[in-house]
Amino acid sequence: MSSAGDARPRAGTRYGVVEGRVEEDGVSVFRGIPYAAPPVGALRFAAPRPPAAWDGVRDAGAFGPTAPKVPYRDPYAALLADPEIPGDGCLNLNVWTPEPSRRARLPVMVWIHGGALTRGSSAVPVYDGAAFARDGVVLVSLNYRLGVLGYGVFPDAPANRGLLDQIAALAWVRDNIEAFGGDPDRVTVFGESAGAISVGALLAAPGAAGLFAGAVMQSGPPEVLPRERTRPLVRRMASLLKVPATAKAFGAVALPGLLAAQEAVLRRSGPVTGGAAFGLIADPDSLPGDPTAAAAASSVPLLLGWTAEEHRLWLAPTGTMRVLDRLGPLAVELARVRSGKDRADVRALRTALPGAGPADLAGHLLTDRLLRDPLRRLAGARRAAPSHVYEFRWPSGVPGLGACHALELGFVFDTLHKPQSAWLAGPEAPQALADEMHAAWVRFAVEGDPGWAPWDGDGPPKVFGGPSWEERDAQRAVGVTP
């Protein structure tokens, strides 16, 4: 509808015309486009409904409302940016494109943010899509319902509403992305942490079939939680709120009270400590069967991986690393039992990580069990399409964080210049590593191949930001700890 050179480019959707902005490098950006109706009133706990059409031209110059959530508490608020934008219409998305024209037919990447399914949004500055558009990819990022609104289990509401929101956004991409220069047949969906878990679910969800042709899972395996781990959260919230544990009753509670109750029941839960949590559950309508098996059988090319020290984001900022180091061998044994590992696994880990203290050993045991081992098994089980596996090893410049969970995001998006990237990475993150990693993600979207050999079930992953496995073995042979 408009050329990429227009200061206010326009694009037509099925619901009306939107007007974006042209920013650096001539990239056109459309923000805050509704892909579903605001989930308020009777729709608070309903499946997403189509947005209302509008007349005239809708301004798409600013991010739309974020999903209702509770902010990060210290110390995480100083490490993880999480803007909060008020408003009812949180089911919105953003599009970065080098050419908002139907003739462009460019590959598309759709980003699903992380945040334990309780925090995060598409407005996080680290997720700016300009670098992808600069490099010829149409980048879409989306918001979806979080916490009890998206994943609370009720007898009178559909399950996995946040996943249904993501499917609705992907359907919007299928139906509208051509107007923004994208090819609906060349869509890659990617996410990190809870976003990666969501990608795994999308590989298994019947409603998402045919909506994407490639997938990227960063630090999150396919999983469903047992109902006995998710259902108690709604019951505990109902007790605090003094209402029945039904969607109808929760729908009558004012949002601030609902979020306060959610925060109270989640205080003792965490990715390493476990406990009740909001998450995806097996559901005959939205997510039947085992998502890991579905992902293994999928013919969709897959890029997946992890960071070398995932656990340090969860343990170091809170001082838990120091506590575990003081516990010494007891911490390692408790982690071994909790992770289901045997003593041979501990011995192998000590060999692989000479000089690692009890906290690091315990953290590795738990995150291997929860994250890395399931991803390795998934990659090894796939036969119908290739899996490309990576490990991110560059250590943060922030003391204690190492190569922690979420650190790779500023490199993947090539947004190290954003101040918020430095919150987690420190002030001198290597741009050359961002160039390498971002280029691999772009190549995967364009060609279905990030530039290294598919996983063979046994070999080493592609390493970003550290010595290769061969170099590390050579260092160990001469007594150097990598």
Are 398 and 424 in contact by the 8 Å Cβ rule? The answer is yes
In a 3-state reduction of DSSP, which class is residue 467? coil
- Cα dihedral across residues 401, 359, 357, 306: positive or negative: negative
CB atoms under 10 Å from CB of 11, counted, come to 25
At residue 477, what is the residue type?
A
* DSSP assignment of 115-179: STTTS--TT-GGG--HHHHHTT-EEEEE----HHHHH---TTS-S-HHHHHHHHHHHHHHHHGGG
Q: Which of 191, 73, 53, 22 is nearest to 122 (CA)?
A: 191
Residues 6+ apart with CB under 8 A from 107: 136, 137, 138, 182, 183, 186, 187, 188, 445, 446
Separation between Cα atoms, residue 243 and residue 235, nearest integer Å:
9
By annotation, the residues acting in catalysis are 193, 310, 405
Main-chain dihedrals φ then ψ at residue 142, nearest 5 degrees: -140, 160
Separation between Cα atoms, residue 20 and residue 481, nearest integer Å:
51
Separation between Cα atoms, residue 42 and residue 51, nearest integer Å:
15
DSSP 8-state secondary structure symbol assigned to residue 30: E
CB atoms under 10 Å from CB of 25, counted, come to 11
H-only helix segments in 281-429: 291-297, 311-315, 320-327, 329-339, 343-352, 358-367, 373-381, 409-412, 419-425
Burial of 8 (0-12, 13-18, 19+ CB in 10 A): middle
CB atoms under 10 Å from CB of 225, counted, come to 18
Going by DSSP bridges, is the β-strand pair 16-19/57-59 parallel, antiparallel, or unpaired?
Answer: parallel
